[in-house]
Structure 1
Amino acid sequence: MSKLALLVGNGELAKASEQGVRAQYRDEFVIWSMTGNSSNPADNINVGDPTTLIDRLRAEKIEVLCAVGAVELSPELRTNVGKYLVEHYAGKLDVSDMGLETAYRTIAKDARVDIKGIHDLVPELLAGPGQIGGPETDVSTNVLGNMVQLARTVARTDLGQSVVFHGLRPIAAEDVLGTDSLIERAKIIAEKLNIQSGELTLVKVAKPQQSGLGDMPTIGPETVINCAAAGVGSIVVEGQKCLIADRKRFVELANELNVSAFGWG
């Protein structure tokens, strides 16, 4: 028996992950909210307090830990998590997303739990390679590969995981406001540059330094809706490193709204 603690944040992926774990995980599990949204106070967990988190994991005899979904830590809580490495392991204070991932891996080690990515628990959430939905992509494999490589270069900055292209030209990159904000900006840029609707491509990749155990890039039904509204005609993701929340609805919308979705790799 491997008792699982699934820590959920906000968004489509959190909901899909919770549903998947409830349907598929055969051992004992608990589901805790990282955003304080659970109606049962006992099911809320403060991930910005490492010591309390470790104590809770040990007390509940958790053996497997998985965190999924959006959660926004205040600067104070980011610093609090980062300080754990400094105080316990003489590490360097790093409050970036990658720094926090390193800190949480250390916290899990100290709590004597194994970290799993949600794709390990619910494999069908992985996008997978090839055409996912919408019209068949007419972009060559070489061009898709070049787009992915350029997006990876941007992702190394740790600001975001997505870039919008017009052809091979990147016109906008994700920042701390996320993918939805990027798509909105891309629409404004396209209007100023007289780019026709459908000519833009959203490329979403994993940050090269990501382990795959934390903040994996995710697309879902809202992504398709926002892309269609902004004139983005294609979505390209790394097939083995990106997730799809509510794949059935995602594919339905991609077909309905004529947005091509493709898994590269």
Structure 2
Amino acid sequence: MFGGSEPENQVALIAGNGALPRQVAEVLTGRGDTPLIVGIKGEIDAEMAEKADAVLGWGEIGRLFNLLTKRRCRKVLLIGGVRGRPDYTSVLGDIGTLKRLPRIIKALRGGDDSLLTKVIGLFEVEGFQVVGIHDVAPELLAKGGVLGKIKPDEIAMADLDLALQATDRLGELDIGQAAVAMGGRVIALEGAEGTDLMLQRCADMRKTGRIRQKGKIGVLVKSAKPGQDLRVDLPTIGPKTVELVVEAGLAGIAVDAGGALISEHQATVEAADRNGIFLFGIERAQHGKSTP
């Protein structure tokens, strides 16, 4: 475990997949805190699972709340990806889960944003405080402006503005967090398939000639939904995002400064620099027409 003492204000990390749970745990332990790590069964990666205090399935919510209470954890951070919603049968588990079943079933209905809000509610009604990355590890959030060595040109900034408008509209409908604009038009919007598959569609359009522009052109924007609860499901990019953007032939990536996560930050920036694409943090307060 990332262990040590168990302070009264210990934070519990409910860890899904990806590298972010490990990075958050390392930030916390690096400053002397001791997180309680609870992995989501079937989601948490193998390396992180070995260090976790417990790995629980969807049907063990009663055990989860008992563990949090026993370890005196009042603050909870939900971090990492979840590949899919649990179905109704997967939450039929321990007695504590069954007691809370009506609230759990209600939480499984609605869009992604609705689901996450209701999951927060499940913790809050039990007396826990759900916190966000900005509360416990703000250093993992994207900074504003040019983040690597490559600077976006005027054409890229115009595409960035257009893609940002598209993500705002997507967010209003609780559909997705990402869009791609190229040459003054939006060519892809993120749906339920997620950002990676959306970028693969962009690459396929180039291969089949649906996109005929040559060279690096176009921008991926990932942005939080308007009014989104920033404690969960922040837009996230990482080395894999860079790889897919390169395959799609895009010029760069932009995310909300202070409202998006960069997983494996150094590796992500280095991959972007190596492949000649830009990384840019959008500062909303200054965002009319963004300037690099």
Q: Which has the larger radius of gyration?
A: 2
Aligned counterpart, 2:4: none
Separation in 2, partners of 1:40, 1:132: 32
Aligned counterpart, 1:188: 204
1:170 aligns with 2:204: no
Among residues 81, 87, 96, which one is paired with 1:76 in the alignment?
87
Decide whether the 8 Å contact of 1:78 with 1:100 is kept in 2. no
Residue 66 to residue 17, structure 1, CA distance change in 2 (3 Å):
same
Deviation at 1:133, TM superposition (A): 1.3
Among residues 109, 122, 128, which one is paired with 1:107 in the alignment?
122
Residue 225 to residue 142, structure 1, CA distance change in 2 (3 Å):
closer
Q: Secondary structure at the match of 1:133?
A: coil
Q: Which amino acid in the other structure matches residue 236 of structure 1?
A: A
Aligned counterpart, 1:46: 57
1:132 aligns with 2:139: no
Q: Which amino acid in the other structure matches residue 7 of structure 1?
A: I
Residue 132 to residue 84, structure 1, CA distance change in 2 (3 Å):
farther
Aligned counterpart, 1:123: 138
Aligned counterpart, 2:113: 98
Among residues 14, 24, 29, which one is paired with 1:7 in the alignment?
14
Decide whether the 8 Å contact of 2:163 with 2:219 is kept in 1. no
Deviation at 1:51, TM superposition (A): 4.0
Separation in 1, partners of 2:107, 2:55: 29
Decide whether the 8 Å contact of 2:85 with 2:108 is kept in 1. no
Residue 179 to residue 245, structure 1, CA distance change in 2 (3 Å):
same
Deviation at 1:155, TM superposition (A): 2.6
TM-score, length-normalised on structure 2? 0.79
Deviation at 1:253, TM superposition (A): 1.2
Residue 146 to residue 249, structure 1, CA distance change in 2 (3 Å):
same
Among residues 9, 15, 21, which one is paired with 2:28 in the alignment?
21
Q: Which amino acid in the other structure matches residue 13 of structure 1?
A: L
Decide whether the 8 Å contact of 1:9 with 1:33 is kept in 2. yes
More divergent stretch after superposition (228-237 vs 89-98): 89-98
Higher relative contact order (CA 8 A, sep 6+): 1
Deviation at 1:212, TM superposition (A): 0.4
TM-score, length-normalised on structure 1? 0.86
State the Cα RMSD in Å: 2.9
Deviation at 1:9, TM superposition (A): 1.1
Residue 88 to residue 159, structure 1, CA distance change in 2 (3 Å):
closer
Q: Which amino acid in the other structure matches residue 106 of structure 1?
A: G
Q: In percent, how many aligned pairs have the same letter?
A: 27
Decide whether the 8 Å contact of 1:155 with 1:207 is kept in 2. yes
- Count of aligned pairs between the two proteins: 263
